[in-house]
């Protein structure tokens, strides 16, 4: 992985942290699948999802990474603080639990990548984008489900 890709990933992580913990209006719930779909499509187009030398093992690692990303993303979406402003606008903000889940999610991703390298299956950029798409989609779905129950504060 070259330095440019590392910088792009670092910037993406900073962007996610700022958005998750700064408090923001939750908009476009009917389009929550768009960004994950674009990321997944780019990931598939980029390639590197399945290593030709170890197709079964790399598919298993991709499935495990995607499932772990979806699970931790769902937990993060459930843990976020939600409220409605008097005008009805829904807001979301991260908290300590979300931060801990974010760290856990990164640790799982790193552990799976190290496992892959140990058995000769390097993580491709496409696989990273597909797992990121899964993570974002799960958060959006959890927030959308919870948002229906959040009432305007009296």
Rounded Cα distance, 136 and 102, in Å: 12
Measured CA to CA in angstroms, residue 93 lies from 70, 117, 125 at distances of 19, 35, 29
Let me know: does 109 contact 68? Beta carbons within 8 Å: yes
Per DSSP, the three-state class of 150 is coil
Identify the band that residue 150 occupies on the pLDDT scale cut at 50, 70 and 90. confident
Let me know: does 20 contact 80? Beta carbons within 8 Å: yes
Rounded Cα distance, 5 and 8, in Å: 5
Check residue 140 and report its DSSP letter.
H
pLDDT of 19-74, one tens digit each?
777 788 887 777 888 989 998 999 899 887 888 888 999 999 999 999 999 999 99
Predicted TM-score (pTM) of the model is 0.85
E strand intervals along 12-141: 24-25, 81-84, 90-93
Question: Residue 148's pLDDT is what?
Answer: 84
Question: At residue 154, does pLDDT exceed 70?
Answer: no
Per-residue b/e over 52-65, b at no fewer than 16 CB within 10 Å? eeeeebbeebbebb
Rounded Cα distance, 152 and 154, in Å: 6
């Amino acid at each position: 992985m070259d330095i440019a890709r590392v910088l792009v990933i670092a910037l993406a992580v900073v962007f996610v942290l700022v958005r998750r913990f700064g408090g923001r209006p939750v908009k476009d719930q009917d389009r929550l699948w768009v960004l994950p779909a674009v990321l997944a499509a780019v990931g598939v187009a980029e390639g590197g999802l399945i290593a030709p030398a170890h197709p079964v093992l790399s598919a298993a690692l991709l499935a495990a990474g995607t499932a772990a990303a979806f699970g931790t993303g769902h937990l993060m979406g459930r843990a976020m603080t939600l409220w409605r402003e008097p005008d009805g606008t829904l807001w979301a903000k991260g908290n300590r639990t979300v931060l801990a889940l974010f760290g856990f999610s990164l640790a799982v991703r790193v552990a799976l990548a190290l496992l892959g390298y140990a058995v000769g299956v390097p993580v491709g950029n496409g696989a990273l984008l597909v797992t990121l798409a899964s993570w974002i989609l799960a958060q959006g779905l959890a927030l959308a489900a919870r948002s229906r129950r959040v009432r305007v504060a009296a």
